[in-house]
Amino acid sequence: MHGYSHQHDHHHHLGQAEVLDLDAVVHRARLDDIVELVAAALHRPPRTIVDIGSGTGTGTVALARRFVDAELIAVDNDPRMLERVRNAAAEAGAATRIRTMEADLDDRWPDVGDVDLIWAALSLHHIADPDRLFRSARSALTSGGLLAAVEMDGLPRFLPDDIGLGRPGLESRCHALASGNGWNEHPNWTEYLHRAGFEVLEERRVDIDLDPAPDGTVEYATLMLERMRTGIGDRLDPDDRATLDRLLDPGDPAALRHRRDLSVRGSRTVWTARPTPSPTMEGSER
C-alpha cells in the first residue's frame, strides 16, 4: 500500500513538472505580460524576490529576466522541482542570482528575510491555511513591497466544440467532471488579502486565446488529456471515452498530434497587493 502510493506520487510529480514546463513554453508571451503588469505596480525595481511554490521555475526565471539586478529565491517543498529551477536558472544565465529553498509552506513561512516582491503563481490554492500565509507574507515585505498572485481560472482548452468526431462538447464535459474533482479551483484571493492587511491594487483577468497554437501545444494538450483520461476517464460515457482514446492514439489520423484545429484558450487572474499602511496588525505572525 505504501509502495503503491509512493510510486503513484512519483509519477504524478514527474508528469506535473512536464506539464509546468510545457505550460511555460505555451504561455511565455502571456507570462511576460503579467510580469510587466507587476513591474508597473512596483515603485522601484525589486532587489529581493521570493517565488513561493515555484514549481520548475517558470516565474522565477521570467522575473530574473525582467529584474536584472534582483536576487531571487525559489521556494518549493518538492526537491525535484527545485532541481529543475537550478537547471533553468543556469540556462538563463541567472544561476548566481537564483537560490532554491526546500520548505513546506504549510509548516511555516520560509526563512527568506525581507523581500521586495513575493510572487505566487498557481500555488496558493495548494496552501492549507492561506490566511496565515498571507499574514506571514505581509510581515516579510519591505515597505513599498508587493505581493503578486496568479491563478488559472479553470483548465485550458485546446479543442473546438465540434472536432468532427463523436458528440460535440467533449472537452466541456471532461472539464465539468474534472472540476467536480477539485482540479484547479481557487477562491477569490481579494477577501483573504484584505483580511491579512493588504490593499489590493488590482485584480485583473487576463484572457488567453492563442490561435494559431504556439509551439508545444500538441505536447501540452496531449499531457493534459492523458491526465484527464486517467483522472475522470472512467466517469465519461463510453462514446466520449472512445473519442478521447482516439485523440490520444498516435496511430489514429484524428489524434491530437495530427490535428490542425488546436488552439489554447483560458484565462488567469492576477492580484497585485501591498501592505496597508497601518503598522499594527492583530494576529500578525511569521
Ligand X SMILES: C[S@@+](CC[C@H](N)C(=O)[O-])C[C@H]1O[C@@H](n2cnc3c(N)ncnc32)[C@H](O)[C@@H]1O
Binder among 66, 77, 177, 201 for ligand X (CB under 6 A) = 77
Give first-to-last CA distance, the chain, whole Å. 37
Residue (150 or 159) nearer to ligand X, CB = 150
CB 119 within 8 A of CB 52: yes
Question: Least distance in Å: CB of 122 to ligand X?
Answer: 4
Instruction: Report 36-75 residues binding ligand X (CB under 6 A).
Output: 53-55, 58-59
- Non-local CB neighbours of 186 within 8 Å, separated by 6+ positions: 124, 125, 151, 152
Indicate whether 122 belongs to the interface with ligand X (CB under 6 A): yes
Residue (81 or 141) nearer to ligand X, CB = 81
N residues, the chain: 286
Instruction: Find cell 520560509 and name the residue.
Output: 110
Binder among 126, 167, 195, 286 for ligand X (CB under 6 A) = 126
Question: Least distance in Å: CB of 286 to ligand X?
Answer: 16
| Cell, residue 194 | 484584505
Question: Least distance in Å: CB of 59 to ligand X?
Answer: 5
Instruction: Report 173-192 residues binding ligand X (CB under 6 A).
Output: none
Question: Least distance in Å: CB of 147 to ligand X?
Answer: 14
Task: Report strand pairing: 48-52 vs 71-76.
Answer: parallel
CB 185 within 8 A of CB 125: yes
Q: What angle do CA 266, 268, 273 make, to 5 degrees?
A: 170
Binding region for ligand X (CB under 6 A)? 20, 53-55, 58-59, 76-78, 81, 104-106, 121-123, 126-127
